[in-house]
Structures are given as structure tokens and as C-alpha cells.
Structure 1
Amino acid sequence: MTEEQEVLEAAALWRREGKGVALATVTATWGSSPRPTGSQLVVSTDGKMLGSVSGGCIEGAVFKEAQEVIADGKPRLLDFGITNEQAWEVGLACGGKLQVFLERVD
């Protein structure tokens, strides 16, 4: 089973269990990025996560936004731009930028 299949199966399982679920997908990258376009992270209201869209502080920010998406149902397009000076602080060791689409799974 691929990582993408595992993420989607977890999303479906958590919804069947009655949990709120959000799915984050990397839609674009510029420069260096630890995860390619199409990478996904699924988040539940009880704090479970599976998959990855980046690493470091970015996944923490995506987790926080995911809780809001689950609550209000409004999808979001998140932009993360990292200068070379900020790169190590937030976990993008080589700098770069990425865009993540976040949506509630109903």
C-alpha cells in the first residue's frame, strides 16, 4: 500500500469513527522542499496525524489550520515562504516555498 493510499484510508476510517477530519495536500513547491507536490497529511480532531506535507514548524501550522477547517468547513490555500536565513528555524533546511491546500473531509 502506498503512503497516499494509507493517508486516504485513515481519513475514511476516522470519518467512519465520527471524527472531524481535514486533508492537506502540497499543491506547489518552489526551490528546495522536503516533500513533493501531491504529498498529503490527514489530521483528525482528536490530534491524530498521518502523512507529511513538509516537516518542522510547517506541519504544526498546518495542524492548527486543519482544526479551523474542520470547525468551519472553509477550505484554505496556505503559503509558506522561507528565506535561507529562516530555513533552519522552521525545518526547511534548504529554504524554498510551498503551497498547501487544506480541506475538510465530509
Structure 2
Amino acid sequence: MLSSDTDILGQAEAWRRAGKGVALATVIETWGSAPRPVGSQLVVDADAHFLGSVSGGCVEGDVITEAIDVIGDGRPRLLEFGVADETAWRAGLSCGGRIRIYLERLD
């Protein structure tokens, strides 16, 4: 069972209250067969703990790595993942779709 929006945002708030750096990833666009709908979220703390899902596991590792960078430098990022010849052996969506994710630090 996936975490609810309330669980994800509640965890983000708890980590912030504990003094941890936190980033929030949100699916903002999908195309084709995408594993998670627009609005799906993943929250990450500075120690790489996370809750939620933006892809059903396909690209979470890359999103978490980028989230650590966002926590460090404070600059939001727009990430795009899909299946293409040049990316077939990197993180991608085996379902054949494409997703765009907005990643931001929560202050």
C-alpha cells in the first residue's frame, strides 16, 4: 500500500521540525503509460530516508540522489524520465511512458 499525501507531508513536517533538510518530489506531467499519476509525491531527508513514490520504483534512486543535491544547494530541479535508445540502460520507465518531476527543497 502506498503512503497517502497526508502521510508524506506529515513526514516532511516531522523531519523539518527535527532540523533535517527535506526535499519534495512531485509528478507534474505524464505521457503514455506512466506508473504513478500526476500529483504523486516522494519526500526525502538529508540522510536519504524517503517516503512515497513517483514511479513505482523505476527511478526513485535517481530522484533521491537529485533530492540530496537540492537539499544542499536549494535550487529546484525539473527531472524527466522515460525510455529512449540513449537512456535504455540508465534509470528509465520500463512501461514505455515518460514522467516529469518537480523537485524542491522545503524550508
TM-score normalized with structure 1 length: 0.88
In the TM superposition, 1:62-77 aligns within 5 A as 62-77=63-78
Task: Name the structure with the higher helix share.
Answer: 1
CA–CA distance in 2 between the matches of 1:91 and 1:61?
10
Any idea what the Cα deviations from partners look like across 1:65-86, whole Å, max 9, x if unmatched? 00000000000000112149x4
Which runs of no fewer than 5 residues in structure 1 stay unpaired?
none
Match of 1:54 in 2: 55
CA–CA distance in 2 between the matches of 1:57 and 1:33?
10
Please tell me whether the aligned partners of residues 56 and 90 of structure 1 are also in contact (alpha carbons under 8 angstroms): no
CA–CA distance in 2 between the matches of 1:31 and 1:60?
22
Q: Which runs of at least 4 in structure 1 moved beyond 6 Å after TM superposition?
A: none
TM-score normalized with structure 2 length: 0.87
CA–CA distance in 1 between the matches of 2:106 and 2:14?
11
Match of 1:60, SS state, is helix
Match of 2:35 in 1: 34
Please tell me whether the aligned partners of residues 81 and 100 of structure 2 are also in contact (alpha carbons under 8 angstroms): yes
